[in-house]
A and B are shown apart, each in its own frame.
Chain A
Amino acid sequence: MRAELGARRAPLNRENVADLPPRKAWVLRIAPWFFALPFVASLIGGSVVDVAGLAVALACCHFGARLTERGRQAEAEYLRRAIAKAPRLPRKLLGAGLTGSGVLIASLFASSAGPAASLLFAAVAFGGCVLAYGADPRQDKGLAPDPAADPEVRMEAVVAAIAEAERKIGEIEHWAKRLHGRELTRHLQRIVAQARAILDEIEKDPADIRRARRFLVTYLDGTRDVVEKYAAQQEDLAETPLADNFRRVLTTVETVFAEQHAVLKRNDTLDLEVRIEVLETQLRREGVA
């Protein structure tokens, strides 16, 4: 059953998880169309070198624009998070490089400009990209580089745990959208919002991660599995006692998430282990886990 459900799961990525606004690089998408006119003229004139040069240039500019947009998206995510690693690939810079190459090739092969002038045009295009879209974030941000203060809270671990939790929350959202009942969907929306609030608390004070570990690992997994199973079989389960059990479990999940959030917010040392045990028992007893 598990494998079956897994196989049916739609691929999820970071874009699903974080509802980021589109980060289009409009100039880089539109301006290369200026090359369309000389491209058509070269086609009509039968100049193979010009046509090939402009085609390669257009391709470079297209991929340059795509890379720049990805870089902007990565930057937006980096800025949104309190703790984040700098993107490993300097996408915006590479995008600027590709755009510059596109201009260089177009100028060299399709116009009579010499290498010096072409290089100048390429440099202007590269510089224009960097000025317009900025450089990529280079420094990791979040935990101060002071591992001696709290050796158990390593930045990599916190970043990885949060990314993993985000992915799970994204999956819960993904399955919640497939539920038929509006009441259930709203319920899950509240749960997801609460889970995100918990992640925000952890980001504010990464030392919380030790107290929230069970939430991050067991709890989100449990909720996701329950929602996924229910969503997959909801046609059969409607009007059965299992549907009521599912509703009850969601109520409990919501309560415990709220408690977890409150505990992290108060920053007290109360442990939620017992509460979590209760939920796990309930999941088993209700027959939905």
Chain B
Amino acid sequence: MVHGSSESWMTGRLWPGVGVFLLWLVFAVVAARALFT
């Protein structure tokens, strides 16, 4: 009777880690470009 759903593809640690890394990277790159150009 009871069924549910979750984001199964997100349950691993790899992709969230990649996402966090990309976020740091893109913010750092854009800020550096804004500072030095």
Contact = CB atoms under 8 A, between A and B. Distances in A.
Interface of A: 27-28, 31-32, 34-35, 37-38, 41-42, 50, 54, 79, 82-83, 99, 103, 106-107, 110-113, 121, 124-125, 127-135, 137-139, 141-144, 203-206
A107 B34 CA distance: 7
A110 B18 CA distance: 26
Interface residues of B, number: 28
Contact of B19 (A35, A79, A103, A127): A127
Residue with the highest number of chain B CB atoms closer than 10 Å, among A28, A34, A129, A130: A34
B30 A107 contact: yes
Contacts, number: 109
A142 B30 contact: no
Nearest to B6: A79
Contact of B16 (A82, A111, A121, A132): A132
B7 A134 contact: yes
Contacts of B10: 134-135
B34 A28 contact: no
Contacts of A34: 27-28, 30-31
B37 A112 contact: yes
A86 to B, nearest CB: 9
Given A37-B35, A141-B3, A142-B4, A128 B30 contact: no
Given A34-B28, A107-B30, A28 B23 contact: yes
Given A82-B2, A124-B26, A141-B4, A132 B19 contact: yes
A139 B15 CA distance: 22
Nearest to B10: A134
A141 B4 CA distance: 5
Contacts of A137: 5-7
The list of the 8 closest CB pairs from A to B, nearest first, reads A131-B19, A132-B19, A128-B22, A34-B31, A38-B34, A111-B33, A141-B4, A31-B27
B35 A41 contact: yes
A110 B34 CA distance: 5
A107 B33 contact: yes
Nearest to A36: B31
A142 B2 contact: yes
A32 B27 contact: yes
B3 A144 contact: yes
Contacts of A106: 30-31, 34
A42 B35 CA distance: 8
7 contacts: A106-B30, A124-B26, A128-B20, A128-B21, A133-B19, A135-B10, A143-B2
